Structure 1
Amino acid sequence: MTKAPRGLRTDGEVTRARILDAAGQLFAASGYAETTSKAIAAAASADQASINYHFGSRSGLYEAVLADAHRRLVSLEELQRLAGSPIPAAQKLRLLIEQLVHQAVGNPEGWHIKVLAQELMTPTSHLHALFKDELLPKVAVITRLLSDITAIPLDDPALTRCLLNVVAPCLMLVISTRGIPGPLREILHMPQATIVQHLHSFALAGLQAIAEEYAANASC
């Protein structure tokens, strides 16, 4: 049996990708509850049986869309390559923030950002699957990076608080793409380099302060 050349997708893979993209755009525009399998099939030039074949159900398709959206924001492979690079930990943090800002600010009209923002603002039961399958492995990598910066042990609750402080501003940038008025919308019009520099300086200063506090308490 001959195999398809590497790098070329099969008809099934092409159909799956087409359904995923069509569903992502519709979910971003109308939300999960208002988007039907029939509408997705029509937008993808496919039949509803193809949705069930590739994703099991509309619910399974939505979870796949959320997972794909989060990978576009930042993939586990990208994080692992960054974590394993020889550059200083503080620079790794800057590159991570740069990636997140670029995705949120540089491509605010992308359906993956809109879908994630929508899920964060009005969570569905599918958020649990996203957290377990996509977020937890990435959180583990980022937490280890913060441990390298602060010298706080991985199992210490202080590191979890640091994670919240570093990640929360980036999540707020994602949410801002949903058209929330006020300062968040203003930030979207600022130069990306300015946003990255601010978030990195702010995060690094906070991490260094917590690291000093942790070291002082540990020596008592």
Structure 2
Amino acid sequence: MSKVRAIRSDGEATRNRILEAAGELFATSGYAETTSKAIAERAEVDLASINYHFASRNGLYQAVLAEAHTQLVSLADLKALADSELSASDKLMKLFEHLVQRSQGERSWSIRVLARELPAPTSHLKVLLQTEVLPKIRVIRQILADITGIPIDDPALTRCLISVAAPCGMLLVGKRGVPGPLNDVLHMPGQVVARHLHVFALAGLEAIRCDYADRGIKTKPRVTRRK
């Protein structure tokens, strides 16, 4: 049994080494310019190892995108936040704090890969959406639904999601060092930026909730802090 575990451990270590090497190269040069040979050389493995663990360069790139998104925010962490005793408003604040911290921290390959992919998406983005993004969006939609009282599948909540998420996306994919307001924000204290996003988002969500009420559209009771 110990021999089997050792083989599995070695295989997992090799897979992780390939994933890290590919992530760094994709982040630096992009998918189109990164060859399997270059990845194998950086990871110190043969080409057969890439095919064994990821089936192809396409499979490897999809795995890199999935890992990058997990490093940005994992589904497990989001679910833990959603299931916590915090109010829905505080949950949103925690999410903003996390994303702002990731945007202002050291630009790891995971952030740089996503920054390359999202503005100019490849066909692989569809796989990422299905496997990583959509399950996380469902959790965030629930938080927004709890704040607004708008049903989770209502198109209005989709618009709310875009309005709340777009500023975070800009912070994450924006290039540093380029003069302009985005660069200025990236150099502001993270807590200040997170609080601004939170206050701004809550004001917008409240306005949408009131608009629903003014038009006679029924909403569910808003979720408050659990006892």
- Band the TM-score falls in, shorter-chain normalisation: over 0.9
Partner of 2:211: 213
Aligned-pair CA distance for 1:177: 3.4
User: 1:1-220 maps to which residues of 2 (within 5 A)?
Assistant: 1-2=1-2, 4=5, 10-107=9-106, 109-177=107-175, 180-218=178-216
Contact 1:118–1:178 (8 Å) recurs in 2 = no
Contact 1:104–1:177 (8 Å) recurs in 2 = no
Structure 1 vs Structure 2: percent identity of aligned residues? 59
**Residue 184 and residue 61 in structure 1: after superposition, are their counterparts in 2 closer, same or farther (change >3 A)?**
same
Aligned-pair CA distance for 1:162: 0.3
Aligned residues: 217
AA partner of residue 73 (structure 2): V
Partner of 2:223: none
Aligned-pair CA distance for 1:216: 2.3
Q: Distance in 2 between matches of 1:153 and 1:125?
A: 31
- Given the two structures, how large is their TM-score scaled by the length of structure 2? 0.91
Post-superposition Cα deviations, 1:55-113, rounded to whole Å, max 9, x if no partner, equal 01001000000000000110000000000001100000000111111111122x21100
Contact 1:101–1:173 (8 Å) recurs in 2 = yes
Partner of 2:221: none
Q: Distance in 1 between matches of 2:94 and 2:146?
A: 15
Aligned-pair CA distance for 1:178: 6.2
Contact 1:106–1:192 (8 Å) recurs in 2 = no
Contact 2:75–2:136 (8 Å) recurs in 1 = yes
AA partner of residue 125 (structure 2): L
Aligned-pair CA distance for 1:180: 4.8
More divergent stretch after superposition (172-181 vs 14-23): 172-181
AA partner of residue 96 (structure 1): L
Q: Distance in 2 between matches of 1:137 and 1:181?
A: 36
Aligned-pair CA distance for 1:27: 0.3
**Residue 59 and residue 181 in structure 1: after superposition, are their counterparts in 2 closer, same or farther (change >3 A)?**
farther
RCO (CA 8 Å, sep 6+): is it higher in 1 or 2?
2
AA partner of residue 12 (structure 2): E
Post-superposition Cα deviations, 1:160-183, rounded to whole Å, max 9, x if no partner, equal 000000110000011113665421
Q: Distance in 2 between matches of 1:92 and 1:196?
A: 12
Contact 2:176–2:183 (8 Å) recurs in 1 = no
- Given the two structures, how large is their TM-score scaled by the length of structure 1? 0.94
